[in-house]
Amino acid sequence: MIKADQTQYHSPRGHTVQRIEAALMDDIAAGVLAPGERLDEVTLTERFGVSRTPIREALSRLTAQGILVPGEKRGVRVAQYGREELAQIFETMHEIETACARIASQRLTLLARAEIESAQAVCVTAAESGDILRYMRANEALHEAIYRATGNPYMAGLASDLRRRTGPFRAKKFATKADLVASAKSHESLIAGIFSEDSKTASDGMRAHMTASFLQTLAMN
């Protein structure tokens, strides 16, 4: 008689940890959970209506991925990067994105080309509407489309990972409609580079795009 019926309201069982992990990732990517913020097990327990065990497992997986870091005192916190670290992560991203653009330009299928074009169309529409959140999503989708165009899911996964990681920091650089339009415009030459099927042009285009993105991001952090 230690406990009341605890199994009564179980969700389908077996998805709990994944659900929590995904929810936390989303919150972090969307900035709902700010870098440096502490995550408390019991609070999450209440939020998700489960016991500490699955919460713990989700937190542990997120720390294993470097999305969370063990706090100075107790608990875990959302990873936060100083300028130095940010620069290192961006440099890495820079290299991988450049490689993706080069490979994509060499292997471009008709489907991939269509996906990139339509993703860019969404970017342009979103930029013109001035809807920042929507633009950010469209921007991610475009980059994802480029990653997929490499035909290398593994590389694409790595690139996505880095992008997710830097999401909260890059987010700050989109403040006005003009920022969005400028970014969308910058995509044009990047895409033209990839479509040129000349790998040098493609990687140079991406390099320029990423460098610009980094400079803006650094200015905001």
Partner DNA sequence: ACGAAGCTTTCTGTATGCAAAACTAAAAGT
Partner DNA sequence: ACTTTTAGTTTTGCATACAGAAAGCTTCGT
Of 41, 71, 34, 36, nearest to 55 by C-alpha is 41
Question: For the chain, where are the alpha helices, taking DSSP H only?
Answer: 16-29, 41-48, 52-64, 83-107, 110-129, 132-148, 153-171, 177-195, 199-220
Q: How far is the CB of 30 from DNA (least distance, A)?
A: 23
User: Residue 19 or residue 56: which is nearer to a copy of itself going by CB?
Assistant: 56
Compute CA distances 195 → 19, 33, 55, 140, whole Å: 38, 38, 45, 19
Q: How far is the CB of 97 from a copy of itself (least distance, A)?
A: 11
From a copy of itself, DNA, none, interface partner of 83 (C-beta below 5 to 8 A by class): none
Q: Which residues bind DNA (CB under 7 A)?
A: 2-4, 6-7, 10, 12-17, 40-42, 50-54, 56-57, 72-75
From DNA, a copy of itself, none, interface partner of 64 (C-beta below 5 to 8 A by class): a copy of itself
Angular region, 111: left φ>0, alpha ψ -120 to 50, beta rest: alpha
41 in Cβ contact with 52 (< 8 Å): yes
From DNA, a copy of itself, none, interface partner of 82 (C-beta below 5 to 8 A by class): none
Q: How far is the CB of 78 from DNA (least distance, A)?
A: 14
User: Residue 95 or residue 197: which is nearer to a copy of itself going by CB?
Assistant: 95
CA distance 141 to 187: 12
User: Residue 58 or residue 162: which is nearer to DNA going by CB?
Assistant: 58
Q: Which residues bind a copy of itself (CB under 8 A)?
A: 17, 53, 56-57, 60-65, 85, 88-89, 91-92, 95-96, 99, 103, 152-155, 158
- Angle among Cα 175, 177, 180 to the nearest 5 degrees reads 80
User: Residue 16 or residue 105: which is nearer to DNA going by CB?
Assistant: 16
From a copy of itself, DNA, none, interface partner of 6 (C-beta below 5 to 8 A by class): DNA
What is the distance between the terminal CA atoms of the chain, rounded to a whole angstrom?
54
